[in-house]
Structure 1
Amino acid sequence: MVLRIANCSGFYGDRLSAAREMVEGGPIDVLTGDWLAELTMLILAGHRLKGRPGYAVTFVRQMEEVLGTCLERGIKIVSNAGGLDPEGCAAAIEKLGLSATVAHVTGDDVTGHDLDLVNLDTGERLAEPVLTANAYLGARPIAAALAAGADVVVTGRVTDAALVTGPGIWRYGWGPGDLDALAGSVVAGHVIECGCQATGGNYSFFREVPDLAHCGFPLVELHEDGSSVVTKHPGTGGLVSVGTVTAQLLYEIGSPRYLGPDVVARFDTIELSQEGPDRVRISGVKGEPPPGTLKVAVNYLAGYRNTMTLMLAGLDLEEKAGIAQEAIWARVPRESFESVDVSFDPPLLRITVMDRDARRAGRAFSSAVVETGLASYPGFYGLTPPGDASPYGVYWPTLIPAADVRPRVFVGGEEVALPSSEQPDPAVEVLVDPVAPRWDGTGAPTVPAPLGRVAGARSGDKGGNANLGVWVRTPEEYGWLARTLTVERLVKLLPSLEGLMVERFELPNLNALNFVVHGLLGRGVAASPRLDPQAKALGEELRARLLEVPETFLR
């Protein structure tokens, strides 16, 4: 018996046709989609302030195309597209008039709770008014809704992996003590949550990926023991390989102990094997009891921001950048703003100001930059016109005791009871952190080469932090990578990390290292002045850096 769970969305704005493609492209049992990046909750809050829906309206549009077919074929639909208004999203689905039993899950909104508001990353305590506060719920409310007969389950903020673990609990009856099975389903959910990133999208070795322009979305065949096979529909573009799955496993993670409300999944126990073309088996995943707290995503409005970008060409670029700034700060003093960030990455000079005063950060700043146009460096021209400031919010991760959060499930408008999630006291295996194999090729001939000729990488954002996963293909290469790519070497290769705290985690089972760079993104994506505010390109920047690489690896 296998449960086929498909993904049709990795973010709010993903391919609209994906739901239809997954329903019509081959047999599936459950259609899922992830809409809620940390930034999305802030976007939806902005929509709600403007009187627009607080849920992902694109999900409703997709349901117009596929809900009838799903009902005919018995395909269940599970999505976190409810955002800040799961009830409103469920009502919109019901208005499609297809006699579907629609459930929605609430309880993640904890704005009325007495939150401690200590930042998980910095230890600071928030003193600003909270705009949104949503706890990451687990999978059991989803399973309860499916068990009560729901055809469609709409949630607010749940963990991304819960969209897969919930149907797994429903089908296989896993209890809170089935830690390994739960952990395996969490890993499967993490792999497919970002859509085409599991099937060759954004893949370092993109030349290996056929027909990327028509990349198929992923699905998992989930088994009762929590093992799974990652695949895609036949006839679609893209690639499912150990490499593409490894890349996604390394995306936006921290420690190998992957915390969640249902289980702690040990990413250092994952075993991957190529079962066939576009089929990768995931097995061996171990689980540990979940913590007694839930993560909470808090957002607050911090003020206004404005960025002006100038292009510098020709000779003496450093001096030209200095002249440009002198001219600008002579018109609007730098110290008049609450925050200023100047980034010079030749040939681009980007200046971002932030302030609680919209006027100060708005035209007063951008017009002053334009006014220097005929009294600045030779070859002056800008890439941004003068404009008003934009409001920005800050993401603030914190914790809440799990016992203080009460998920509620409504099926067809009626509340259903949730089974107990109380943990038994299982005899949990104490897992020893793996040790990297020694590199025994000391003295082997080396040549200077880009790291990317040997290693793949994937990077992303986690609040104000960035993660950077790096992997190679063989244990021998991993032994070299683990010895060579220390934190100190990483910082030398990427000087933008200088002065930041960097953690390194070893994943020999995946031939991979994972680095977490604290504070690289400032106060989070919406507040980051970086040109790459989600650190998506950080891994590719690293792959372009030169290292002494053993010749044998390059062959």
Structure 2
Amino acid sequence: MNNRRPVRIANCSGFYGDRVAAAWEVLEGGDVDVLTGDYLAELTMLILWKARQKDASGGYAKTFLSQMERVMGTCLDRGIKVVSNAGGLNPEGLTDRLHELAATLGLSPRIAWIEGDDLTDRLPELVAAGHPLTHLDTGKALADSNTKAVTANAYLGAWGIVDALRADADIVVCPRVTDASLVVGPAAWWHGWDRSDYDALAGAVAAGHVIECGPQATGGNYSRLPAVPDKRRPGFPIAEVAADGQVVITKQVGSGGHVSPGTVTAQLLYEIQSPAYANPDVVAHFDTLRLEQQGPDRVLISGATGTAPPPDLKVAINQLGGYRNTMTLVLTGLDIEAKADWARAQLFDVLGGEDTFDEVDVRLLRFDRPDAETNEQATAHLRVTVKSADKNKVGRRFANATMELAVGGYAGFHTTTPPADASAYGVYWPTLVPLDVVTHSVVLPDGTRRVVPHGPTATPVESQPVSALGTDVTAIAGETRRVPLGTVCSARSGDKGGNANVGIWTEDERGFAWLDAHLTVERFRELLPEAADLEIRRWALPRLNALNFVVVGLLGAGVAETARPDPQAKGLGEYLRSRHVDVPVALIELEESRR
């Protein structure tokens, strides 16, 4: 370890489509050493694949070029390194475009790019070599799948980024590295860490996970809205990573939003599963983390413990599942259920029956109320989704059939959208491959290609879901009141492939003692009826006063395939907070005293 000052690493993108001006705004808001941006998610890889079918030179996040057009000169003048996964499916292509952009700006940045994640063309070879590429949730082997894989990308680690920065690269273009690698790489380079500096690396993984989604760490999507004093658009986060792996999360000066232990907890719990958070370079144990408010908009993350990474890399495979279409019929006023039943029967009579399709999903969404004060408040939606390998079955033929109910169906018939054609959808397939089948390489600014060796690994001890800690709750027992769970708890939810993740936490240990005892898997299942028949995993993170739940299969085969109205489970945590439970009055009063 060295005693160099903490490295200031900023985020300027939480997803492909995020605020283009963010890169400039972050640089205007204070000094940073490294500018990072996260553009990739499982769905994004499918989006980039579709873009590449139209233009073979594409396959990268084009918005990154727009950002660099404005800030490349500033970054070079101030010595700010840029590390991004905007390369997507075509990091070499993005590197070429960056060189072209730099030439038009009269600049000469040193650009490196990473490769080795793309396994798409190698899938048959891997299966033939005895790698089953088993689905992590279903246990099904890839060879037993009847759908075509169009993308397959291994999650690479941080050491290719380290090599690029050591070769004095100004910009590092990454493909599918882990989100945290965008912070781990610069931190390891800055502080001269070794591959076995597991605790420091774990702290950097925590930092990377916190800032990867941009303003979600600074008040964005935060369930405790009154706790965010500055209601302006939240600024983008900055992680100050010290040599020992301790991290301060802050944000750009003068920006909106708020950084607190609550906003940082929300992002730490976002889209994780076990507290043993596996990355290619370290397993970061999130249940060892502690948070402390150091000052206005400054939260210290300490206590990170890391262990050797696993011997496998995660691979995200996207398959073409077929075609889908959705039409939403509006039902108004009286006899909502009878109207819905009649509409469904008429529609599929026109179409030749529900068996015409590979899959049918019909949902009656009730927004209506008796004696509504407005027309809109008297409406419900009948949402009909059909899927088929035959595009013609679910295209205009299906959409136009709904319109045949217009004058011969239920009273008040209308739809939310005009008829539309079918669209292709993807199926997400998460799996693992041994490290030795992946060649992680970096192409340095001088054109030299260097293979990045894999480091030492260990078979991780499987984290077991915790049902309860048995905490003594005597101090907060007594009289209860039936109130929404969100009266005393915060939450953050999201997707991990076909699984939904819900993190829920309290402000202090006393609240957590009650939450840990109260919110068992069984009670969670009662509060979330759509998970009644699904596997639910539960973990406790006492140092964060938090529980984490994973609902396996709630989202089907992932966001691109599911017919669920909230396909990424973004609102699931808020739904859980809205459910009424019996809460000790003393705990309610404690929460009220904080306001």
- Structure 2 distance, partners of 1:296, 1:432, is 23
Q: Tell me what 2:540 maps to.
A: 506
Shift of 1:369: 1.2
CA-to-partner distance for each residue in 1:354-405, whole Å, 9 max, x for gaps?
0011110111111111111222222222112111101111111111101111
The 1:200–1:424 alpha-carbon spacing in structure 2 relative to 1, beyond 3 Å, is closer
Q: Given the alignment of the two structures, is residue 78 of structure 1 paired with residue 112 of structure 2, yes or no?
A: no
Q: Given the alignment of the two structures, is residue 62 of structure 1 paired with residue 67 of structure 2, yes or no?
A: yes
- Structure 1 distance, partners of 2:214, 2:231, is 13
CA-to-partner distance for each residue in 1:425-445, whole Å, 9 max, x for gaps?
89x9x9998946332247511
Q: How does 1:311-460 map to 2 (within 5 A)?
A: 311-332=330-351, 333-346=353-366, 347-412=380-445, 414-418=447-451, 420-423=453-456, 435=469, 437-441=471-475, 443-460=477-494
Q: Tell me what 2:370 maps to.
A: none
Equivalent pair of 1:464/1:521 in contact (CA under 8 Å): yes
Equivalent pair of 1:195/1:217 in contact (CA under 8 Å): yes
The 1:380–1:60 alpha-carbon spacing in structure 2 relative to 1, beyond 3 Å, is same
Equivalent pair of 2:308/2:457 in contact (CA under 8 Å): no
Q: Given the alignment of the two structures, is residue 463 of structure 1 paired with residue 494 of structure 2, yes or no?
A: no
Equivalent pair of 1:177/1:424 in contact (CA under 8 Å): no
Q: Which amino acid aligns with 2:392?
A: R
CA-to-partner distance for each residue in 1:128-161, whole Å, 9 max, x for gaps?
3321110000000000000011000000000000
Shift of 1:420: 4.2
Residue 68 of structure 1 aligns to a residue in which SS? Answer: helix
Shift of 1:204: 0.2
Residue 240 of structure 1 aligns to a residue in which SS? Answer: coil
Q: How does 1:92-103 map to 2 (within 5 A)?
A: 92-96=97-101, 97=103, 98-103=107-112
Residue 213 of structure 1 aligns to a residue in which SS? Answer: coil
- Structure 1 distance, partners of 2:470, 2:34, is 38
- Structure 1 distance, partners of 2:76, 2:396, is 53
- Structure 2 distance, partners of 1:460, 1:387, is 29
Residue 308 of structure 1 aligns to a residue in which SS? Answer: strand
Shift of 1:424: 8.0
Q: Tell me what 2:561 maps to.
A: 527
Q: Given the alignment of the two structures, is residue 239 of structure 1 paired with residue 258 of structure 2, yes or no?
A: yes
Q: Given the alignment of the two structures, is residue 490 of structure 1 paired with residue 499 of structure 2, yes or no?
A: no
- Structure 1 segments unaligned to the other structure (5+ residues): none
Q: How does 1:204-243 map to 2 (within 5 A)?
A: 204-243=223-262
Shift of 1:69: 0.4
TM superposition score normalised by structure 1 = 0.97
Shift of 1:176: 1.7
- Structure 2 segments unaligned to the other structure (5+ residues): 367-379, 590-595
Q: Tell me what 2:369 maps to.
A: none
Residue 273 of structure 2 aligns to a residue in which SS? Answer: coil
Q: Tell me what 2:40 maps to.
A: 36
Shift of 1:221: 0.4
Q: Of the candidates 320, 323, 331, which is equivalent to residue 301 of structure 1?
A: 320
Shift of 1:419: 5.7
Q: Given the alignment of the two structures, is residue 106 of structure 1 paired with residue 122 of structure 2, yes or no?
A: no
Deviates more, 1:435-444 or 1:368-377: 435-444
- Structure 1 distance, partners of 2:574, 2:517, is 21
Shift of 1:418: 4.8
Q: Which amino acid aligns with 1:409?
A: V
Q: Which amino acid aligns with 1:88?
A: G
Shift of 1:72: 0.4
Q: How does 1:171-182 map to 2 (within 5 A)?
A: 171-182=190-201
Q: Tell me what 2:217 maps to.
A: 198
Q: Given the alignment of the two structures, is residue 87 of structure 1 paired with residue 95 of structure 2, yes or no?
A: no
CA-to-partner distance for each residue in 1:59-91, whole Å, 9 max, x for gaps?
011000001000000000000000000001111
Q: Tell me what 1:133 maps to.
A: 152
Shift of 1:190: 0.1
Equivalent pair of 1:9/1:194 in contact (CA under 8 Å): yes
CA-to-partner distance for each residue in 1:485-513, whole Å, 9 max, x for gaps?
11111121121212111111111111111
The 1:432–1:367 alpha-carbon spacing in structure 2 relative to 1, beyond 3 Å, is closer
CA-to-partner distance for each residue in 1:329-378, whole Å, 9 max, x for gaps?
11111110001111122122111000011110111111111111222222
Q: Which amino acid aligns with 2:359?
A: S
- Structure 1 distance, partners of 2:465, 2:514, is 22
Equivalent pair of 2:343/2:409 in contact (CA under 8 Å): yes
Q: Tell me what 1:123 maps to.
A: 139
Percent identity (aligned):
54
TM superposition score normalised by structure 2 = 0.90
| Superposed CA RMSD | 1.9
Q: Of the candidates 164, 171, 179, which is equivalent to residue 145 of structure 1?
A: 164
- Structure 1 distance, partners of 2:120, 2:465, is 39
Shift of 1:417: 3.1
Residue 39 of structure 2 aligns to a residue in which SS? Answer: coil
Equivalent pair of 2:269/2:492 in contact (CA under 8 Å): yes
